[in-house]
Amino acid sequence: MAVSVKEVAALAGVSVGTVSNVLNRPEHVKPDTIRRVQDAIDELGYVPNSAARQLREGRSRSLALVVLDVANPFFTDVARGAEARAAEDGLTLFLANSDDSTDREALHLDVFAQQRVGGVLVSPVGEDLSRLETMRGHGIPVVLVDREAGESAFSSVSVDDKAGGALAARHLLETGRRHLAFVGGPLRIRQVADRFEGASSVVAGEPDATLRLFGTDEMTLNEGRRVGEALVPLIKDGRVDGIVAANDLLAIGIQRALLFADEPVRMPEDVGLVGYDDIAFAASAVVPISSVRQPSALIGSTAVELILEAGDGVAPRQVVFEPDLVVRASTVG
Protein backbone atom coordinates (compact mmCIF):
# COMPACT_ATOMS: atom_id res chain seq x y z
CA MET A 1 0.00 0.00 0.00
CA ALA A 2 2.42 2.58 1.22
CA VAL A 3 5.01 3.49 -1.37
CA SER A 4 8.37 4.45 0.13
CA VAL A 5 11.78 5.39 -1.16
CA LYS A 6 12.65 1.75 -1.02
CA GLU A 7 10.20 0.74 -3.70
CA VAL A 8 11.17 3.71 -5.81
CA ALA A 9 14.83 2.81 -5.48
CA ALA A 10 14.14 -0.78 -6.43
CA LEU A 11 12.16 0.15 -9.51
CA ALA A 12 14.72 2.69 -10.65
CA GLY A 13 17.56 0.31 -9.95
CA VAL A 14 19.40 2.64 -7.57
CA SER A 15 19.91 2.88 -3.82
CA VAL A 16 17.63 4.70 -1.42
CA GLY A 17 20.33 7.28 -0.84
CA THR A 18 20.23 8.19 -4.48
CA VAL A 19 16.48 8.65 -4.44
CA SER A 20 16.88 10.99 -1.53
CA ASN A 21 19.58 12.86 -3.40
CA VAL A 22 17.34 13.27 -6.41
CA LEU A 23 14.76 14.80 -4.15
CA ASN A 24 17.03 17.06 -2.15
CA ARG A 25 20.29 17.57 -3.98
CA PRO A 26 19.67 16.89 -7.65
CA GLU A 27 22.87 18.74 -8.58
CA HIS A 28 24.88 15.82 -7.23
CA VAL A 29 23.10 13.32 -9.44
CA LYS A 30 23.68 12.50 -13.09
CA PRO A 31 20.81 13.77 -15.26
CA ASP A 32 20.16 10.33 -16.62
CA THR A 33 19.73 8.90 -13.12
CA ILE A 34 17.42 11.74 -12.17
CA ARG A 35 15.21 10.88 -15.05
CA ARG A 36 15.05 7.21 -14.17
CA VAL A 37 14.19 8.00 -10.57
CA GLN A 38 11.58 10.54 -11.60
CA ASP A 39 9.93 8.01 -13.83
CA ALA A 40 9.79 5.52 -11.01
CA ILE A 41 8.29 8.14 -8.70
CA ASP A 42 5.63 9.00 -11.22
CA GLU A 43 4.82 5.41 -11.99
CA LEU A 44 4.41 4.44 -8.36
CA GLY A 45 2.70 7.65 -7.35
CA TYR A 46 5.22 8.11 -4.58
CA VAL A 47 4.46 10.82 -2.03
CA PRO A 48 7.19 11.57 0.53
CA ASN A 49 6.20 10.94 4.13
CA SER A 50 6.84 14.19 5.92
CA ALA A 51 6.66 12.55 9.33
CA ALA A 52 9.69 10.47 8.51
CA ARG A 53 11.54 13.42 7.06
CA GLN A 54 10.73 15.54 10.02
CA LEU A 55 11.72 12.87 12.49
CA ARG A 56 15.11 12.71 10.90
CA GLU A 57 15.55 16.45 10.50
CA GLY A 58 14.26 17.15 13.99
CA ARG A 59 12.10 20.04 12.86
CA SER A 60 9.20 20.52 10.51
CA ARG A 61 9.00 22.84 7.56
CA SER A 62 6.08 24.72 8.92
CA LEU A 63 5.11 27.61 11.14
CA ALA A 64 2.02 28.12 13.23
CA LEU A 65 -0.12 31.17 13.80
CA VAL A 66 -2.51 31.31 16.72
CA VAL A 67 -4.95 34.19 16.56
CA LEU A 68 -7.54 35.52 18.98
CA ASP A 69 -10.42 35.41 16.54
CA VAL A 70 -10.48 34.01 13.01
CA ALA A 71 -13.80 35.66 12.41
CA ASN A 72 -12.18 39.07 12.73
CA PRO A 73 -11.06 40.22 9.29
CA PHE A 74 -8.07 41.93 10.85
CA PHE A 75 -6.59 38.59 11.78
CA THR A 76 -7.34 36.95 8.47
CA ASP A 77 -5.41 39.79 6.88
CA VAL A 78 -2.51 39.18 9.22
CA ALA A 79 -2.66 35.49 8.34
CA ARG A 80 -2.60 36.27 4.66
CA GLY A 81 0.52 38.38 5.03
CA ALA A 82 2.23 35.75 7.13
CA GLU A 83 1.34 32.93 4.79
CA ALA A 84 2.66 34.77 1.76
CA ARG A 85 5.97 35.47 3.45
CA ALA A 86 6.27 31.90 4.70
CA ALA A 87 5.56 30.52 1.24
CA GLU A 88 8.55 32.45 -0.10
CA ASP A 89 10.74 30.21 2.00
CA GLY A 90 8.79 27.08 1.20
CA LEU A 91 7.18 26.96 4.61
CA THR A 92 3.60 26.03 5.34
CA LEU A 93 1.61 28.07 7.81
CA PHE A 94 -0.90 26.43 10.13
CA LEU A 95 -3.68 28.64 11.33
CA ALA A 96 -5.39 28.10 14.65
CA ASN A 97 -8.00 30.00 16.55
CA SER A 98 -7.88 30.53 20.29
CA ASP A 99 -11.21 32.35 20.45
CA ASP A 100 -9.91 34.42 23.31
CA SER A 101 -9.78 31.30 25.48
CA THR A 102 -6.68 30.42 27.46
CA ASP A 103 -7.56 26.74 27.30
CA ARG A 104 -7.90 26.60 23.56
CA GLU A 105 -4.70 28.55 23.20
CA ALA A 106 -2.90 26.06 25.41
CA LEU A 107 -4.36 23.15 23.48
CA HIS A 108 -3.16 24.51 20.18
CA LEU A 109 0.28 25.31 21.51
CA ASP A 110 0.58 21.76 22.80
CA VAL A 111 -0.23 20.31 19.44
CA PHE A 112 2.25 22.58 17.74
CA ALA A 113 4.95 21.74 20.25
CA GLN A 114 4.37 18.07 19.52
CA GLN A 115 4.61 18.78 15.84
CA ARG A 116 7.91 20.49 16.43
CA VAL A 117 6.91 23.35 14.18
CA GLY A 118 9.67 25.67 13.11
CA GLY A 119 8.18 28.62 14.95
CA VAL A 120 5.03 29.99 16.51
CA LEU A 121 3.40 33.34 15.89
CA VAL A 122 0.85 34.08 18.56
CA SER A 123 -1.39 36.87 19.72
CA PRO A 124 -1.57 35.73 23.32
CA VAL A 125 -4.85 35.64 25.19
CA GLY A 126 -3.69 36.58 28.65
CA GLU A 127 -0.75 38.15 30.39
CA ASP A 128 0.80 34.88 31.41
CA LEU A 129 3.51 34.03 28.94
CA SER A 130 5.06 31.18 30.87
CA ARG A 131 3.82 28.55 28.46
CA LEU A 132 5.49 30.44 25.65
CA GLU A 133 8.70 30.59 27.68
CA THR A 134 8.53 26.82 27.84
CA MET A 135 8.18 26.53 24.10
CA ARG A 136 11.19 28.70 23.59
CA GLY A 137 12.96 26.58 26.15
CA HIS A 138 12.27 23.64 23.87
CA GLY A 139 13.97 25.50 21.06
CA ILE A 140 10.89 26.68 19.23
CA PRO A 141 11.13 30.35 18.27
CA VAL A 142 8.17 32.44 19.37
CA VAL A 143 7.06 35.82 18.08
CA LEU A 144 4.28 37.79 19.68
CA VAL A 145 1.85 39.31 17.24
CA ASP A 146 -0.19 42.38 17.98
CA ARG A 147 1.26 42.58 21.46
CA GLU A 148 4.41 44.26 22.61
CA ALA A 149 6.82 41.92 24.31
CA GLY A 150 8.03 44.48 26.85
CA GLU A 151 10.94 43.30 28.93
CA SER A 152 10.20 39.61 28.27
CA ALA A 153 12.75 38.20 25.91
CA PHE A 154 10.41 37.54 22.98
CA SER A 155 10.46 39.21 19.64
CA SER A 156 7.25 40.96 18.80
CA VAL A 157 5.38 42.80 16.11
CA SER A 158 2.77 45.18 17.29
CA VAL A 159 1.01 48.38 16.56
CA ASP A 160 1.09 51.21 19.02
CA ASP A 161 -2.41 50.85 20.41
CA LYS A 162 -2.05 53.82 22.71
CA ALA A 163 -1.18 55.99 19.73
CA GLY A 164 -4.16 54.53 17.88
CA GLY A 165 -6.53 55.34 20.69
CA ALA A 166 -5.06 58.80 20.91
CA LEU A 167 -5.41 59.27 17.16
CA ALA A 168 -9.10 58.44 17.29
CA ALA A 169 -9.83 60.67 20.28
CA ARG A 170 -7.78 63.59 18.95
CA HIS A 171 -9.60 63.47 15.64
CA LEU A 172 -12.94 63.68 17.41
CA LEU A 173 -11.77 66.59 19.55
CA GLU A 174 -10.33 68.40 16.56
CA THR A 175 -13.62 68.10 14.74
CA GLY A 176 -15.33 69.87 17.60
CA ARG A 177 -16.55 67.06 19.84
CA ARG A 178 -16.14 67.39 23.59
CA HIS A 179 -17.88 64.46 25.25
CA LEU A 180 -16.49 61.16 24.13
CA ALA A 181 -17.56 57.60 24.76
CA PHE A 182 -15.12 54.71 24.50
CA VAL A 183 -16.80 51.40 23.70
CA GLY A 184 -14.94 48.14 24.12
CA GLY A 185 -13.93 45.34 26.39
CA PRO A 186 -13.21 43.27 28.28
CA LEU A 187 -10.36 45.47 29.47
CA ARG A 188 -8.22 42.47 30.27
CA ILE A 189 -7.58 42.33 26.53
CA ARG A 190 -4.42 44.35 26.37
CA GLN A 191 -5.15 45.95 23.02
CA VAL A 192 -8.42 47.32 24.31
CA ALA A 193 -6.91 48.65 27.49
CA ASP A 194 -4.16 50.39 25.55
CA ARG A 195 -6.54 51.98 23.09
CA PHE A 196 -8.60 53.26 25.97
CA GLU A 197 -5.55 54.59 27.72
CA GLY A 198 -4.46 56.42 24.58
CA ALA A 199 -7.83 58.03 24.23
CA SER A 200 -7.88 58.94 27.92
CA SER A 201 -4.55 60.68 27.83
CA VAL A 202 -5.64 62.93 24.96
CA VAL A 203 -8.91 63.79 26.59
CA ALA A 204 -7.12 64.51 29.86
CA GLY A 205 -5.15 67.19 28.06
CA GLU A 206 -8.25 69.16 27.19
CA PRO A 207 -9.82 70.78 30.26
CA ASP A 208 -13.36 70.90 28.93
CA ALA A 209 -13.40 67.41 27.37
CA THR A 210 -14.76 64.24 28.95
CA LEU A 211 -14.42 60.54 28.26
CA ARG A 212 -16.70 57.80 29.46
CA LEU A 213 -16.08 54.07 29.21
CA PHE A 214 -18.78 51.68 28.00
CA GLY A 215 -17.59 48.16 28.64
CA THR A 216 -18.49 45.16 26.51
CA ASP A 217 -18.08 41.44 27.04
CA GLU A 218 -17.09 40.75 23.48
CA MET A 219 -16.14 42.79 20.46
CA THR A 220 -19.00 41.78 18.22
CA LEU A 221 -21.73 43.34 16.13
CA ASN A 222 -24.35 42.44 18.68
CA GLU A 223 -22.53 43.96 21.61
CA GLY A 224 -22.13 47.08 19.51
CA ARG A 225 -25.84 47.25 18.92
CA ARG A 226 -26.56 46.82 22.57
CA VAL A 227 -24.29 49.67 23.58
CA GLY A 228 -25.47 51.77 20.66
CA GLU A 229 -29.04 51.58 21.91
CA ALA A 230 -27.92 52.72 25.32
CA LEU A 231 -26.04 55.62 23.78
CA VAL A 232 -28.98 57.09 21.89
CA PRO A 233 -30.52 59.08 24.79
CA LEU A 234 -27.11 60.30 25.89
CA ILE A 235 -26.43 61.65 22.44
CA LYS A 236 -29.83 63.30 22.31
CA ASP A 237 -29.01 65.00 25.61
CA GLY A 238 -25.68 66.17 24.33
CA ARG A 239 -23.90 64.16 26.94
CA VAL A 240 -22.05 62.23 24.24
CA ASP A 241 -21.01 63.67 20.89
CA GLY A 242 -18.16 61.43 19.87
CA ILE A 243 -17.61 57.66 20.01
CA VAL A 244 -14.41 55.66 19.85
CA ALA A 245 -15.06 51.96 19.25
CA ALA A 246 -12.35 49.47 20.11
CA ASN A 247 -12.88 47.69 16.82
CA ASP A 248 -14.88 47.97 13.65
CA LEU A 249 -17.31 45.20 14.45
CA LEU A 250 -18.44 47.18 17.45
CA ALA A 251 -18.52 50.37 15.41
CA ILE A 252 -20.74 48.82 12.78
CA GLY A 253 -23.11 47.52 15.43
CA ILE A 254 -23.19 50.91 17.11
CA GLN A 255 -23.88 52.68 13.88
CA ARG A 256 -26.76 50.42 13.10
CA ALA A 257 -28.34 51.00 16.52
CA LEU A 258 -28.00 54.76 16.19
CA LEU A 259 -29.36 55.08 12.69
CA PHE A 260 -32.20 52.72 13.46
CA ALA A 261 -33.39 54.21 16.71
CA ASP A 262 -36.96 55.44 16.98
CA GLU A 263 -35.55 58.89 16.83
CA PRO A 264 -32.55 58.32 14.60
CA VAL A 265 -29.28 59.97 15.39
CA ARG A 266 -27.62 61.82 12.53
CA MET A 267 -24.05 61.02 11.73
CA PRO A 268 -21.75 62.93 11.65
CA GLU A 269 -23.92 65.87 12.73
CA ASP A 270 -25.13 64.61 16.11
CA VAL A 271 -22.26 62.30 16.83
CA GLY A 272 -18.90 61.30 15.37
CA LEU A 273 -17.88 57.67 15.24
CA VAL A 274 -14.39 56.22 14.88
CA GLY A 275 -13.74 52.50 14.58
CA TYR A 276 -10.57 50.46 14.70
CA ASP A 277 -8.91 48.01 12.25
CA ASP A 278 -10.30 49.45 9.03
CA ILE A 279 -11.89 46.23 7.85
CA ALA A 280 -13.62 46.23 4.49
CA PHE A 281 -17.06 46.44 6.05
CA ALA A 282 -16.19 49.77 7.68
CA ALA A 283 -15.80 51.47 4.33
CA SER A 284 -19.01 49.86 3.13
CA ALA A 285 -21.18 50.84 6.05
CA VAL A 286 -24.16 53.07 5.30
CA VAL A 287 -22.28 56.01 6.59
CA PRO A 288 -18.72 54.93 5.93
CA ILE A 289 -16.88 54.73 9.19
CA SER A 290 -13.64 56.54 9.99
CA SER A 291 -11.25 53.99 11.34
CA VAL A 292 -7.77 53.54 12.74
CA ARG A 293 -5.89 51.47 10.24
CA GLN A 294 -3.23 48.91 11.10
CA PRO A 295 -0.89 47.48 8.49
CA SER A 296 -2.28 43.99 8.97
CA ALA A 297 -0.62 42.06 6.16
CA LEU A 298 2.68 43.76 6.97
CA ILE A 299 2.34 42.68 10.58
CA GLY A 300 1.99 39.09 9.43
CA SER A 301 4.92 39.12 7.05
CA THR A 302 7.15 40.92 9.54
CA ALA A 303 6.35 38.37 12.21
CA VAL A 304 7.50 35.61 9.91
CA GLU A 305 10.71 37.55 9.22
CA LEU A 306 11.39 37.70 12.91
CA ILE A 307 10.87 33.96 13.26
CA LEU A 308 13.25 33.28 10.41
CA GLU A 309 16.00 35.49 11.75
CA ALA A 310 15.65 34.11 15.26
CA GLY A 311 18.66 31.90 15.64
CA ASP A 312 20.93 30.87 18.42
CA GLY A 313 21.83 33.91 20.46
CA VAL A 314 20.15 36.43 18.22
CA ALA A 315 18.75 39.23 20.35
CA PRO A 316 14.96 39.51 20.24
CA ARG A 317 13.58 42.44 18.33
CA GLN A 318 10.52 44.55 18.97
CA VAL A 319 8.91 45.98 15.88
CA VAL A 320 6.24 48.55 16.53
CA PHE A 321 4.21 50.00 13.70
CA GLU A 322 2.33 53.27 13.89
CA PRO A 323 -1.35 53.21 13.07
CA ASP A 324 -2.95 55.87 10.95
CA LEU A 325 -6.41 57.26 10.67
CA VAL A 326 -8.69 56.84 7.68
CA VAL A 327 -11.20 59.66 7.76
CA ARG A 328 -14.65 58.97 6.36
CA ALA A 329 -18.16 60.34 6.55
CA SER A 330 -18.88 59.15 10.08
CA THR A 331 -16.82 62.02 11.49
CA VAL A 332 -16.70 64.76 8.90
CA GLY A 333 -19.54 66.34 6.99
Q: Which residues bind DNA (CB under 7 A)?
A: 2, 4-6, 13-21, 23-24, 28-30, 32-33, 46, 48-49, 52-53, 55-58
- How far CA 102 is from CA of 105, 115, 129, in Å, comes to 5, 20, 11
301: burial class by Cβ within 10 Å (0-12, 13-18, 19+)? buried
Q: Does 139 bind its own copies (CB under 8 A)?
A: yes
In angstroms, the CA 310 to CA 87 distance is: 18
Does 48 participate in binding its own copies (rule CB under 8 A)? yes
Residue 30's binding partner out of its own copies, DNA, none, with CB under 5 to 8 Å set by partner kind: DNA
Query: What residues pair up with 157 in beta bridges, in sequence order?
Result: 145, 319
Instruction: Note whether 221 binds its own copies by CB under 8 A.
Output: yes
248-267: which residues touch its own copies (CB under 8 A)? 252-253, 256, 259-260
24 contact choice in its own copies, DNA, none (CB below 5 to 8 Å, kind-dependent): DNA
Q: Comparing C-alpha atoms, which of 271, 258, 286, 275 is closest to residue 326?
A: 275
Which of DNA, its own copies, none sits in contact with 253, Cβ below 5 to 8 A by type?
A: its own copies
Smallest separation (angstroms) from DNA to the CB of 92 = 15
Of 26, 39, 42, 49, the one binding its own copies (CB under 8 A) is 49
Judged by beta carbon distances under 5 to 8 A according to partner kind, the member of its own copies, DNA, none in contact with residue 286 is its own copies
* Measured distance CA(233)–CA(258) in Å, rounded: 10
Q: To 10 degrees, the CA torsion angle through 238, 239, 243, 244? A: 150
5 contact choice in DNA, its own copies, none (CB below 5 to 8 Å, kind-dependent): DNA
Does residue number 311 form part of the binding site for its own copies (CB under 8 A)? Answer: no
Indicate the residue among 33 and 92 with the shorter CB distance to its own copies.
92
Angle between helices 161-174 and 190-204 (to 10 degrees): 40
62-67 and 92-97: which strand pairing? parallel
H runs (alpha helix) in the chain: 5-12, 16-24, 31-44, 50-57, 73-88, 102-115, 130-137, 161-174, 190-204, 221-236, 248-259, 280-283, 296-309
Which DSSP letter does residue 292 get? E
Least Å distance, CB 49 to DNA, is: 4
Q: Which residues bind its own copies (CB under 8 A)?
A: 1-2, 45, 47-52, 54-55, 58, 60, 70-71, 73, 76, 79, 83, 92, 94-97, 110-111, 113-116, 134, 137-139, 220-222, 225, 252-253, 256, 259-260, 280-281, 284-286
